[in-house]
Amino acid sequence: MLTYPQFQRAALNSLLVTAGAVALALPIGTLAALALERGRLRAPNLWAALLLSPLVVPGVAAGLGFLILAAAAGLLRSRAVLIAAHAALVLPFVVRSVWVSVRNLDPTLERAAASLGAPPRRVFFRVTLPLLRPGLFAALLFAVVVSANEFVVSLFISNRVTEILPVAMFSYVVNYTDPTIAALSSLFIAATFLMVWLADRYLGLGRVFLQH
Amino acid sequence: MDVLDLAVLEGEFLSLLGPSGCGKTTTLNLIAGFVEPTAGRILIDGEDVTGRPAHLRGLGVVFQSYALFPHLSVFENVAFGLRERRVSSAEMNRKVVEALALVRLEGRERQRPTELVRRHAAARGPGPRPGLPTPRAAARRAAGRAGPKAP
């Protein structure tokens, strides 16, 4: 089963798409969370709703939207669309997780750093970012799990070459009936569980949720 | 805050007193540069620092809530400002040791500030009822977990 070329390709696609989407969504989501909590936005609620909206838009609608957009941009054959779509879909999870950490951040710590002579950039990298770590780790985990398991939207915008693992599994089930797919499903579940367990073990996920 | 005319002389030890909400902290925040005044000027040594960001004012501030960096060791907390001033590492070491000796925190350099607080709390926490951990046992347990925790 692991030797099936279409699954190997799909697994690689999954990896690339998830990595790309997370690399996009993590910095954007972090800055968005900081802006929502600290920035002087004119309509903060509107921004928050906009950033969290991918959660409530039905996958089919979002998928169709991305499909039309990608077709118009002539990007249907590339993974870029998948990466962009996944980034948008995981963004709400990133924003929410980091937002909690930003809320818990004591602004006097940043003032203290400034009074000790640290310019804003250094305050951000030496104080703000390290203190957001729990939220960033939670965001990373959510983003990876959501992106790796995303199916509906991906189905619309992938083709035989760019399709990610869940989509490849779906098309396999449509075309063939054999137990391969059950085995692969089990593997998929196991991989997701392993990821969550590792994150909990090494990143202290429990603490993230219990403390906040 | 409306009208404030405050002059502090060199070497003067000055206390601001007043009911809560009257602007004591706001005054200090204005001087330190954490908030900008809507009107008026702030002078240090005759120099106008209104509008100058906090990190360029060179003032020492001790915060009401301490504002120690929880992710840094005791040593790194004290060294924070010295690092920003690009002090040589030998001089930084000397100055940190000196400062910590002044407040009798020698030997605690590598602990986190929260660790000291946790042990302090453990020493005070449990009452004298039988069956509950004694302060000493709780403190020992806290000390056993002295290493910095994962984030």
Summarised one tens digit per residue, pLDDT across range B14-59 is: 888 989 888 888 898 999 999 899 989 999 888 899 989 999 998 8
A109 contacts in B (CB within 8 Å)? 67, 69-70
Q: Classify residue B33 as exposed, middle or buried by CB count within 10 Å of its CB (0-12, 13-18, 19+).
A: buried
The tens digit of pLDDT for each residue in B42-52 reads 998 888 999 89
At A184, is the pLDDT very low, low, confident or very high (cuts 50, 70, 90)?
A: confident
User: Please, what is the average pLDDT of chain A?
Assistant: 88
Q: Which residue has the higher pLDDT, B1 or A106?
A: A106
> How many alpha carbons fall within 13 Å on the CB side of residue B27?
17
- Whether A206 shows a pLDDT value over 60: the answer reads no
From the CA of B60, how many Å to the nearest CA of chain A?
7
Which of B106, B118, B124, B105 lies closest to B146, judged by CA? Answer: B118
pLDDT for res A94:
95
pTM metric for this prediction:
0.79
What are the residue boundaries of the structural domains of chain B, listed by start?
Answer: 1-66, 68-110, 113-144
At B126, is the pLDDT very low, low, confident or very high (cuts 50, 70, 90)?
A: low
Average pLDDT over residues B129-151: 55
Residue tagged 């997370």 (tokens): A22
Q: Classify residue B151 as exposed, middle or buried by CB count within 10 Å of its CB (0-12, 13-18, 19+).
A: middle
B104: left (phi over 0), alpha (psi -120 to 50) or beta: left
The tens digit of pLDDT for each residue in A47-68 reads 989 988 888 899 899 999 999 9
At B131, is the pLDDT very low, low, confident or very high (cuts 50, 70, 90)?
A: low
Write out residues 121-180 of A within 8 Å (CB-CB) of B.
Answer: 122-123, 126-127, 130-131, 133-134, 137
CATH, domain range B1-66: 3.40.50.300
Average pLDDT over residues B1-8: 82
Which CATH architecture fits A5-211? Orthogonal Bundle (1.10)
Choice among A26-40, A60-74, A166-180 with the minimum mean pLDDT: A166-180
Instruction: Give the DSSP letter of residue B44.
Output: E
The distance in angstroms from the start CA to the end CA of chain B is 40
Which of A108, A117, A134 is facing B84, going by the closest CB pair? A117
Average pLDDT over residues B76-93: 92
Which of A184, A152, A125 lies closest to A60, judged by CA? Answer: A152
Which of B33, B60, B80 is facing A113, going by the closest CB pair? B80
Contacts of B87 (CB under 8 A, 6+ apart): B95
pLDDT for res B150:
41
Cβ distance A155 to A5 under 8 Å?
Answer: no
Q: What is the ipTM of this complex?
A: 0.76
Chains A, B: CB contacts within 8 A come to 69
